[in-house]
Amino acid sequence: MEKTTLRGRIWVLLDRSGKLIEDIDTDQIYHNAFLHITEVSEMGKYALGNLEGWKDFPAKAAPGDILVAGRNFGAGSSRQQAVDCFISLKVGAILAPSFASIYFRNAVNSGLPVLKSPRIERLAEGGELESGDELEVDFLSGQALNVSKNMSFAVEPMSTVQKEIFRAGNLFAFGRSSNRKA
């Protein structure tokens, strides 16, 4: 049986007033001062390095952790590094009500699960999703469970292409496995 479930500790990107931060842009995720870096392993230490209140994220993050962010996550630049910095830290997934279009496809192409859930804003701001909680998400069925609080909610299941690229590992592997495309 293929693994379709992710499990990890969540980080809820709240601002000081307890609101889920919206419109987090790629310069807040990965600043343009580091765009010259081409080695993924060097990118992790700059993740969220320009986001007020979250600059210590790389020191706190552990493999498999899941980020929960506000709508339009990844606004701005086309830089793949804003995805790769999380891959470098082995972040397991990112959940947001919506993602900026280029960011979303960059994440899909790199095999980082990005999952949309319009409900998480209310859940995060209502204290039903808190940093440190253990989350389990089935990205095929769209079922998510906050294990720590025994509270379930829905995320949008991955699209066919997202699922296929994720299964293959990334866009390159997917292209090779599917002669029609590559």
Partner 1 sequence: MGKTVVEKIIQAHTRDEARAGRIVWMDLDIRSARDFGGPNVVKHYEREYGDELLADRTKTFFTFDLCAPACTLRYADNQQACRDFALKHGIKVYDVDQGIGTHVLMEEGLAQPNSTVAGTDSHMNILGAMGSFGQGMGDVDMTFAFRTGRTWFEVPETTRVIIKGALKKPASAKDLTLFLLKELGTKRLALKAAEFYGQAAAGLSLAGRLTLCSLITEMAGIVGFVPEYNDAARKEIERFTGAPFSPFVADEDAPYAETIEINVQGLSPQVAAPPSPANVKPVADLRGVRINSGFIGSCTNGRTEDLAGAARILKGRKVKAGVMLKVVPATRRVYQELLARGILRDLFESGAIIVNPGCGGCAEGHVGLTGKGEVQISTGNRNFAGKQGKGETYLASPAVVAASCVLGQIASPEDL
Footprint on this chain of partner 1 (rule: CB under 8 A):
22-23, 25, 27-28, 31-33, 35-38, 50, 52, 71-72, 75-81, 83, 98, 100-102, 105-106, 109-110, 159-161, 170-172, 175, 181-182
CA end-to-end span of the chain, whole Å?
A: 28
> Which run of H or E residues covers position 87?
helix 81-88
Closest to partner 1 by CB, 71 vs 91, is 71
Measured from the CB atom, is 71 or 120 closer to partner 1? 71
Q: How far is the CB of 170 from partner 1 (least distance, A)?
A: 7
Q: Residue 131 Cβ, how far from partner 1 at the closest point, in Å? A: 22
| Six-digit token string for 117 | 């859930």
Q: In 3-state terms, what secondary structure has residue 28?
A: helix
When the beta carbons of 20 and 135 are compared against partner 1, the nearer one is 20
- 8 Å CB contact between 147 and 9: no
β-partners of residue 93 are: 66
